[in-house]
Structure 1
Amino acid sequence: MSTTTHRSKLKYFQLVLILGFLTALGPFSIDMYLPGFSGIAADLNTTVAKVAMSLSSYFIGISAGQLLYGPLLDRYGRKKPLFIGLLVYILASLGCAFVTDIDTFIGLRFIQAVGSCAATVASIAMVRDLFPVKEIPKVLSLLMLVVGLSPMLAPTIGGYVTAAYGWHVVFLILMGIGMVVLLAAQFGLPHTHEPDTSISLKPKPIILNFWSVVREPQFYTYAFTGGIAFSGLFTYVAASPILFMDIFKVDAKTYGWIFAFMSLSFISASQLNSLLLRKFSSEQMIFGALITQSVISIAFLIAAMNGLLGLYETIGMLFIFLACLGISNPNTAALTLAPFAKNAGSASALMGAIQLGLGAFASFAVGVFVKDSMVPMVVIMMVSTIVALVVLSFGKRKIIVKH
């Protein structure tokens, strides 16, 4: 008996690890080249602002790619679209390493994002395939651990690699990671979903399929609650260089350490979530986290408007704010996907596109409003939290009626 238990535990660990690597490919590709911005600008005879456009093109690629892969994963099974997506990612990463002008680089980053997206959507859909509904929040918390480590490790590794070997090598490393993930997925993951030929790839049926997912009250309630609340994280990420380096005048190295410390909040909270789920339901966890987050963001705004916050107080406030997201996020994701056994691929893709779309909107707002004060950042965070709470309160009534 113990050998069987040991073997099944090992198998569980292996599955979660490979799914974690699939999920982390996107964040790694976003964060690892950030320290090389000035090097890329110098080599491609352009400005850092123009290089930053490659970040925007990556976000657009991820958002669009989510919707593309949903139907493909349901139609052809999980592995074939995943294999092709990772192949696209590997080739685009190779292209990025040898690029000679900025416009090609921005275009290749878009293609790289569309490729990496296959890994993100497939990993979430496979969680829905492989684990019972009650297990899903726990598994997603473990995946959050891997994803949460990415912003801690990626910029640090990227910084050392860029300093020692130049930014081109960062993309060669990403290409290598893509190859490892491809082999691990191909040989380490089971076929979890038989191809469903009844799913058409013509635009009209795809749109109708997405529409049938969106109309499910449980889907729209939790997808939008989670997405709107999570845009608080995008707000923080987009505003953090301005906040810490321009307003608080810390240097780039210190900023890297602050960024790593903040990631710790998100990770530890999503692990605490696994423990708390033994006592509380996902619904209770989301509600508790959003109430706490609302109180924190209101206190944060009052303190910021009255100039009561130094560097350490600001870090403390942000730390608690992000911890609330680490608790609500795995639970909203699990409840969003719970009703979908048949088209989990489409549901997972739509959920990701909603989250990234709202996140891109929040980071755009940061670019417009956050200049020399943290108040606009805190306002965006507070508004997103309270709107998420309102969406949850209204949406929940519809779900109760349905059941």
Structure 2
Amino acid sequence: MSKQANRTKIILILGILSAIGPLSIDMYLPAFKNMAAALHCSQEQMGYTLSSFFFGICLGQLVNGPLLDHFGRKNVLYIGLIIYVISSFGSAFSFTVEQLIVWRFFQAIGGSIGMVAPNAIIRETFKEAERPKILSLMMLILGVSPILAPSLGSLLLTITDWNIIFVLLGIITLLILFLIKSWLPEKINKHPKGPFKVKSILTSYVALLPEKQFLTFAISGAIGSGCIFTFVSGAPLTFLNFYHADEKQFGWIFAMVASGIIGASQFNHWVLKRFSSQQVLSFILPLQLLLAITLAVLSKFGLINIQINILLLFLILACQGLVFPNIISLALQPFHEGAGAASAMMGALQMAWGSICATILGLLFDGTPFTMAIIMVFCALSANFILFVIGKKYFQPVQE
């Protein structure tokens, strides 16, 4: 088999692996009402199944990173995905919401491996100059999942019960396990010798602290990613409640805005032929801040209609599609052996900050698009400040 064919297979499987998290969140959202009735609970209680999943993702990423570095990528992938499969079937056959909350937590623990391993595998499989391009291609696969997942979940509900959503997630993951066994090279399974100690997990993260370049890009990237989480949590409130879009219209709106991330991530592949990752970030992050400020000002004074709102949100998320692959690549640049722990820390920071943004939005929402916009302004402003002011001396151009 040709080297290019192997390369394509690796990118494809890593993209599918990364999509486990979004699929696990978005596919069952249309079933909330049905599930609440079946489990004899309120929809507010159903929300705890999301909370437990987010908590599991944060914890799982932090634990799985050092495990990937010590025991080898494929070994830990097998264990994590098997936990995910078992938990998916457990979720499908839950009889109470409490059972579902527990199963969802363990589903996230297992599934979080898909959010950690790909970045680390790319870091040690591809050359430095190739990594941002590979991350952009992988984001094409990853970006489709949150667009298609709610529609797939709704389709399943028209022909069967909510349980099948979790059964399907388990079956998909079994297929992923087979592809990992067949397609991922064994060389990524090399790992250090010697016993693994629990305290080595903490040691792995403490070892990241001296890496100022990592901290600069990881923290800036995590806070900037709040724009995406704010959109996801604020879109239903804005478009369904404020603009009174129906569910079908909302689906199209969500897909249009989210497609900005996909398109921009592919445009990044072309941009990197002419500019460095640092140059891309130096232009895109200030542009994203300007767009967020525009959205906030227009929203505050009631000068925005639904079409302009969609356009500005599309552009803000498109900026994020350009930021993600470049900021991840630069954050992981100092690492080789510790890439798993570094990747895990980045993912956990993003998820934790996203949860904070979603909570703040729910607490402060004033019934208009302004709340979502002003949180995006804060995220974009903070990301710019950390990267270009606090971390200016660590923001060095790539030497060709």
Q: 2:296 maps to which residue?
A: 301
Q: 2:176 maps to which residue?
A: 181
Q: 1:93 maps to which residue?
A: 88
Contact 1:83 1:182 in 2 (8 A): yes
Q: 2:192 maps to which residue?
A: 196
Amino acid aligned to 1:39: N
Shift of 1:209: 2.2
Task: Say if 2:391 is the partner of 1:395.
Answer: yes
Contact 1:337 1:344 in 2 (8 A): yes
Q: 2:33 maps to which residue?
A: 38
Segments of 4+ moved more than 4 angstroms: none
**Following superposition of structure 1 onto structure 2, how do residues 43-122 of structure 1 map, counting pairs within 5 Å?**
43-122=38-117
Aligned counterpart in structure 2 of residue 8 of structure 1, from 3, 15, 18: 3
Q: 1:219 maps to which residue?
A: 214
- CA–CA distance in 1 between the matches of 2:216 and 2:27? 34
Partner SS, residue 373 of structure 1: coil
Partner SS, residue 197 of structure 1: coil
Aligned counterpart in structure 1 of residue 333 of structure 2, from 338, 344, 349: 338
Amino acid aligned to 2:244: K
Task: Say if 2:271 is the partner of 1:273.
Answer: no
Amino acid aligned to 2:393: R
- CA–CA distance in 1 between the matches of 2:284 and 2:365? 26
Q: 1:244 maps to which residue?
A: 239
Shift of 1:177: 0.5
- CA–CA distance in 2 between the matches of 1:395 and 1:39? 49
Aligned counterpart in structure 2 of residue 168 of structure 1, from 159, 163, 171: 163
Instruction: Report the TM-score, using the length of structure 2 for normalisation.
Output: 0.96
Amino acid aligned to 1:139: I
Task: Say if 2:321 is the partner of 1:326.
Answer: yes
Shift of 1:201: 2.7
Alpha-carbon distance change, 371 to 177 in structure 1, aligned in 2, over 3 angstroms: farther
Task: Say if 2:118 is the partner of 1:123.
Answer: yes
Partner SS, residue 207 of structure 2: helix
Identity of aligned residues (%): 36
Shift of 1:193: 4.0
Shift of 1:200: 4.1
- CA–CA distance in 1 between the matches of 2:220 and 2:66? 24
Contact 1:218 1:399 in 2 (8 A): yes
- CA–CA distance in 1 between the matches of 2:308 and 2:201? 48
Contact 1:26 1:120 in 2 (8 A): yes
- CA–CA distance in 2 between the matches of 1:121 and 1:293? 26
- CA–CA distance in 2 between the matches of 1:87 and 1:257? 34
Shift of 1:206: 2.6
Contact 2:278 2:395 in 1 (8 A): no
1:203-228 superposed Cα distances (whole Å, 9 cap, x missing partner)? 2x332321221321110110011111
- CA–CA distance in 1 between the matches of 2:377 and 2:197? 40
Amino acid aligned to 1:228: I
- CA–CA distance in 1 between the matches of 2:301 and 2:264? 29
- CA–CA distance in 2 between the matches of 1:399 and 1:277? 17
- CA–CA distance in 2 between the matches of 1:378 and 1:141? 26
- CA–CA distance in 1 between the matches of 2:82 and 2:371? 41
1:281-333 superposed Cα distances (whole Å, 9 cap, x missing partner)? 00111121111011111111111111011111110110111011000111001
RMSD of aligned residue pairs (Cα, Å) = 1.5
1:361-389 superposed Cα distances (whole Å, 9 cap, x missing partner)? 11111111114112111111001101100
Shift of 1:125: 1.1
Amino acid aligned to 1:367: G
- CA–CA distance in 1 between the matches of 2:232 and 2:396? 36
Shift of 1:14: 0.8
Give unmatched runs, 5+ long, in structure 2: none
- CA–CA distance in 1 between the matches of 2:195 and 2:311? 49
Alpha-carbon distance change, 264 to 229 in structure 1, aligned in 2, over 3 angstroms: same
Contact 1:200 1:206 in 2 (8 A): no
Q: 2:23 maps to which residue?
A: 28
- CA–CA distance in 2 between the matches of 1:95 and 1:263? 31
Partner SS, residue 45 of structure 1: coil
Contact 2:218 2:327 in 1 (8 A): yes
Residues matched between the structures, number: 396
- CA–CA distance in 1 between the matches of 2:63 and 2:26? 24
Partner SS, residue 213 of structure 1: coil
Contact 1:71 1:201 in 2 (8 A): no
Contact 1:92 1:108 in 2 (8 A): yes
Give unmatched runs, 5+ long, in structure 1: none
